[in-house]
Structure 1
Amino acid sequence: MKNINTFFSKQLFILAVFCFQITATFAQTREIAGRVIDQISMEGISGVLIVTEDQSSQTITNEEGYFVLNVQMDGEILHFSHINYQSQQQKANDTMSVKMALANIELDEILVFKKPLHEVFGTAFQNALKISEKGDLYKTYVRQFNVVNEDKINVADGLVHFYVNKPSKTPLTDLIENRAFMNAGERDEENSETETILMTLGDDFRDILKVGRAIAVITDALQNTDMYECTVRRKVDNDNTKIIVEFGPKEGLKKWKYFQGYIVFNDEQTKVLEYKYQLADKYKDNTKVINLLIVKAQAHDIGGYAVFTDNIEGYHLFYKTSYIDMSIFRKKKGNFRLKSQVEVVVDELVKNVEAPKQKQYKGNLFTQKSNYQTKFWKNRNIRPLSSKEEQILKQLEEKK
């Protein structure tokens, strides 16, 4: 009897190990990297959305077309989409090279509505503005770049948890880990003004998930038909139907702050899936110098881009970036050019979480003391840094 019990114990142990290995294999993920290029020009395509078939993981390409994505070990079918290109699917592998063909826009259905566009898509705009509910916990990765005169850089990033207590109020933020590298604005009397500007520019990162400003820009363009031209088309690609609204200012306008861009809706017109906007190319030369508190400034570009997701976690923001390119004019201490970009990726959305009672972090990541312990900036489904940004960050890390 003892030998029989020993035999069965061993068999159960082997079976348990086997089941564990199977479970681990299916749960394990691996990182793949690749590049998406135009099949004619062979140049990288920026802003390509890459989604796994089960929609559990997604990312976007950077300005050079590169991407990084975590997928299941057993291989996944990846969906590649861009409003100007034909969508396609490919099986994931370690180093992917994806060629995309331009979409034939003439085949898209042009849509004409009797009601104003801002009313047609009113429900979608409201849903985008109400992506956060009480009890939501957004686990995110936030990154900010400030570039001065193309050679001095401030870089900061971190893991930030956003606890939503009241959707209309600023969320409670928990800064899990963060780091900051700075070489723009030395801590002395001569450059203290520059440092103050660099520290204060950019939104309070507690508000980084809010999309109200961008939605206001887009709805204003859709509503002001005297100033803007809009085209609405339905794009059917691989059984996936989207409605794309492209907008831009008309000719002959006298002001300078006009925007161009697009917004993508689902076919039911109830949800915003993606948007992008920037200062209109034809009016960038007309930008005016404006008075700020202690300096004068002239904007060369202002813009934003966002991607929303709708999966088992619910409808929420996945990726958002905002940027500004401006010249700063100072009477005695010289002028400088500043480019600032802030971006966030949502790693996970957890529902029905009670916000902890603790001190809130405020300002931007440059005002927070570095406390990073792990390489939290690795293995994230976020836009990879461009080669120039990678070089800059490497130099800052070595200096640190």
Structure 2
Amino acid sequence: MCSLLTIALIEANAQNSILENRYSFDTKKVSLYDALNIVSQKTGYFFIYDSRILENERRVKLEARGEKLESIIKGLLNNPKLDLRVLSKHILIYEKKETTATPKSEQNRHDSTIIISIKGTVYDNQTRKALQYVSVAIEGTSSGTITNGEGFFILKLPQSNEQLNIRISHIGYKPYTLPVMLVRDQKIDIYLKPDIVSLQEVVIRRVDPTEIITSTIKNLKTNYSPIPFYLTTFYREGVLKNSTYLSYAEAILKIYKPTINQFLGTEQVKEIKSRKIINADQTDTLLMKLKGGVSACLSLDIAKNIPDFLELSEVDKYRYTLSDIISYESHNAYAIGFVQKESIEEPLFTGTIYIDTDSLAILGADFEINPSFISKASDYLISQNRRTHIVKPERFAYSLTYRKIGNHYFTNHAKCDIQLKVRKKGRFFSNNYTAFLEMATCDVDTKNVIKFDKQETIRPQVVFLDIPYNYDPDFWGDFNYIVPEEKINEALKRINSKIGKVE
């Protein structure tokens, strides 16, 4: 007991001592953001903070001669309300609280029924633009979430996991790991560093991208789960006419996934909770219903539901090019572009697939129906119940990523974006319809997995409950979910106000 306490104290003192170390800087006026980056590069410690409490663009002088690091940082911040906390290789800049929370007992600290949350926004370190669909996972577990279209996330986890780390990763970027204990119940900004390796800078054996594709297909059974498993997912879909939302739906789903050897149709879906809103002002317009819904997202598991660009019998229809070697989760990956050959005139896919250089596992893909031939795909992409309108497909695009848990890869995020032009016969002007389907994996369970009772399941094409939609952060309880973007929230508020007037 004494030795454990001694080790803990030594570790804490060692971490806090970085603030006592002395450094010298002589830098002309730069932004506060750049100044903190310079300090980070020299010390090897990473800063974590909420940009709302700092003025990132404020010009500061970084000048010091043998001063303590704590004094240097606080001089840059120039705000007595801000303080510093050190853990591992991270320095948290946070706002001091007016009151001090009562310390939790040791029993409460490990209570799995208490849920804590971490909020944050993920940015590109160079451009400072928000990054969409970044994986935010709890190391050592199968739980996690993703950032939304504005780079924002909320991660919920049991307090018993506060000793673990959060791992933030995205294709083409260096992964970022930080302790839960440091940022629990905080709002933070995280900057990922691009990690794209130019082909000219990498010495590799000459590779044939077509051979990589064929080898990847042959390795599917090795890299993906040989046993059934459950996915807990957050699903959402939306339809817009021009810039006005016609409908929006969200759901927490539990999905039974069979082994990689079984057909896609054997998957089962159980609804945990859902809500949907329909724009009352748009009931007299052409209704666009999303064909497939949940099943469309499930079909994007291309390791199981093989698309033609991964079919051995169809490979000859495509031209593959090795465009880059990129980084994902500290591993190198082939970025292989594909497009149908010039002699092929049927509508096929074009895009990029990312394949681990060592295991040949599929890490993700971004692809779409070839824009040059999409008009030929109209018949099987669109089911028209009305003959009064002419519907022209403009874009059908898809993206997905996988996450490695243990020795196998599982779907992490899947998204489909649709753009159509719709014109009523006899009219000159068209309306633009857009839609999206999106599913993010929040948890994976491989233990005691059995198929659901049939009465528990829903059809993957189900239309979710018409529950009046109000943004309520507590609606999903302890489940992780994709936070609605601000533009969606504003649109849904307007729809709700109209529904209130109608009622």
Q: When the two structures are superposed, what TM-score results if normalisation uses the length of structure 2? A: 0.61
- Where in structure 2 are the equivalents of 1:251-266 lying within 5 Å? 257=347, 259-266=349-356
**What CA distance in whole angstroms lies between the structure 2 residues aligned with 1:359 and 1:21?**
35
Alignment partner, residue 299 of structure 2: 210
Residues 85 and 102, structure 1, Cα contact 8 Å, conserved in 2: yes
Residues 165 and 178, structure 2, Cα contact 8 Å, conserved in 1: yes
Q: CA RMSD in A?
A: 4.0
Q: What CA deviation, in whole Å up to 9, does each residue of 1:205-240 have, x standing for no partner?
A: 2453233567415426996577534216554677x3
Alignment partner, residue 77 of structure 2: none
Alignment partner, residue 103 of structure 1: 195
Q: Which of 335, 348, 365 is matched with 1:275 structurally?
A: 365
Q: Which of 425, 437, 441 is matched with 1:346 structurally?
A: 441
Residues 156 and 365, structure 1, Cα contact 8 Å, conserved in 2: no
Alignment partner, residue 86 of structure 1: 174
1:39, CA displacement in angstroms? 2.8
**What CA distance in whole angstroms lies between the structure 1 residues aligned with 2:204 and 2:349?**
22
AA aligned to 2:136 is I
AA aligned to 2:434 is K
**What CA distance in whole angstroms lies between the structure 1 residues aligned with 2:458 and 2:468?**
14
Q: What CA deviation, in whole Å up to 9, does each residue of 1:305-330 have, x standing for no partner?
A: 22223325964223222221111233
Q: Which runs of 5+ in 2 are unaligned?
A: 1-103
Q: Which of 389, 393, 410 is matched with 1:316 structurally?
A: 410
Q: What CA deviation, in whole Å up to 9, does each residue of 1:170-223 have, x standing for no partner?
A: 4343323221101178445xx4xx22xx23x23142453233567415426996
Find runs of 4+ consecutive structure 1 residues off by over 6 angstroms: 220-223, 250-254
Alignment partner, residue 181 of structure 1: 277
Q: For residues 234 and 381 of structure 1, do their structure 2 counterparts lie closer, same or farther at Cα, with a shift above 3 Å needed? A: farther
- Give the SS at the match of 1:113: coil
**What CA distance in whole angstroms lies between the structure 1 residues aligned with 2:477 and 2:432?**
30
**What CA distance in whole angstroms lies between the structure 2 residues aligned with 1:388 and 1:133?**
41
Q: What CA deviation, in whole Å up to 9, does each residue of 1:249-294 have, x standing for no partner?
A: 48978859464433333444253232222356xx56x753745544
AA aligned to 2:232 is K
Q: Which of 213, 231, 249 is matched with 1:138 structurally?
A: 231
Q: What CA deviation, in whole Å up to 9, does each residue of 1:152-181 have, x standing for no partner?
A: 330011222334579423434332322110
1:105, CA displacement in angstroms? 1.9
**What CA distance in whole angstroms lies between the structure 2 residues aligned with 1:137 and 1:209?**
13
Residues 195 and 327, structure 2, Cα contact 8 Å, conserved in 1: no
Q: Which runs of 5+ in 1 are unaligned?
A: 1-16
- Where in structure 2 are the equivalents of 1:69-80 lying within 5 Å? 69-71=155-157, 73=159, 74=162, 76-80=164-168
AA aligned to 1:261 is G
Q: For residues 360 and 87 of structure 1, do their structure 2 counterparts lie closer, same or farther at Cα, with a shift above 3 Å needed? A: closer
Q: Which of 324, 335, 358 is matched with 2:455 structurally?
A: 358
- Give the SS at the match of 1:358: helix
Alignment partner, residue 251 of structure 2: 158
The structure whose RCO (Cα within 8 Å, separation 6+) is larger is: 1
**What CA distance in whole angstroms lies between the structure 1 residues aligned with 2:324 and 2:170?**
14
Q: When the two structures are superposed, what TM-score results if normalisation uses the length of structure 1? A: 0.75
Identity within the alignment, %: 14
